[in-house]
Amino acid sequence: MPDRPTTPAGTFPCVVPVGGVGVMLAGAVVSALVLALLALGLQRRVGWVAAWAGCGLVWSLVVVALVTLVPANGAPGIVPAEGRLETCSWDIGGPAPDGFWIFESGQRLLNTVLFVPSGALLVVAATRWRAGWVLVPLGLAGLAAYSALIELTQLELARLDRACDVTDVVDNVTGAVLGVLVGLVVALVLRPWRYRRR
């Protein structure tokens, strides 16, 4: 039996053995295929708009998880203990870098844009039901909680080589709110409530 690998004192072995853009893209493609099949199966029951919007919402959340919880530059292997934050950064702007590996614009812009599709798809999916006016605010609160959970995960699993930053939650929620506004316009065009059962 081979010896277990050891790490230098004061370091953490990486708990995620893979990472990088390729892993994120592969996860996005596989989940898109699975959810597309699910949407095809649901569209006769709830209408094509709600089926595709609902599965699209789930896919957008999977993509958010991939982008935020998979190490961005490949598996870091060993993360120095000295670099680990003990608490989330409450400094608006935080420890996040100005850019994010493929995107040349700022990290804050990316964090905002990342949640726009989720907010928009939430509205389009929810307005199929009469309780949509309740489901949308609850869903928006859920998106905020999802963002906070991601940041807490980044704090607790320092070996992801990510930084926990409250600014990210602010930007994510801003993106979700903008997405809800976009979704209201899209819902007025697509009118998913036409597929309600009488």
Query: With bands split at pLDDT 50, 70 and 90, how would you rate the model's confidence at 198?
Result: very low
Q: Name the residue with tokens 């995620």.
A: 16
Please check the confidence at residue 196 and state whether its pLDDT lies above 90. Answer: no
pLDDT digits (tens, 9 = 90+) for 75-119: 555 555 566 667 777 766 555 555 444 444 577 888 899 999 999
Does 26 fall in a domain?
A: yes
SS3 sequence, the chain?
A: CCCCCCCCCCEEECCCCCCCHHHHHHHHHHHHHHHHHHHHHHHHHHCHHHHHHHHHHHHHHHHHHHHHHCCCCCCCCEEEHHHCCCCCECCCCCCCCCCECCECCCHHHHHHHHHHHHHHHHHHHHCCCCCHHHHHHHHHHHHHHHHHHHHHHHHHCHHHCCCCEHHHHHHHHHHHHHHHHHHHHHHHHHCHHHHCCC
Q: How high is the pLDDT of residue 197?
A: 57
The strand pairing partners of 13, in sequence order, are 78
Does 60 fall in a domain?
A: yes
pLDDT digits (tens, 9 = 90+) for 4-61: 444 444 444 444 456 778 889 999 999 999 999 999 999 988 889 999 999 999 999 9
Does 6 fall in a domain?
A: no
Does 143 fall in a domain?
A: yes
pTM of the complete model: 0.79
Q: How high is the pLDDT of residue 166?
A: 86
Does 7 fall in a domain?
A: no
Does 97 fall in a domain?
A: yes
Does 55 fall in a domain?
A: yes
Does 1 fall in a domain?
A: no
- Give the chain's domain count: 1
Q: Name the residue with tokens 């930084």.
A: 163
| Contact status, residue 143 vs residue 176, Cβ threshold 8 Å | yes
State the residue range of the domain holding 80: 13-195
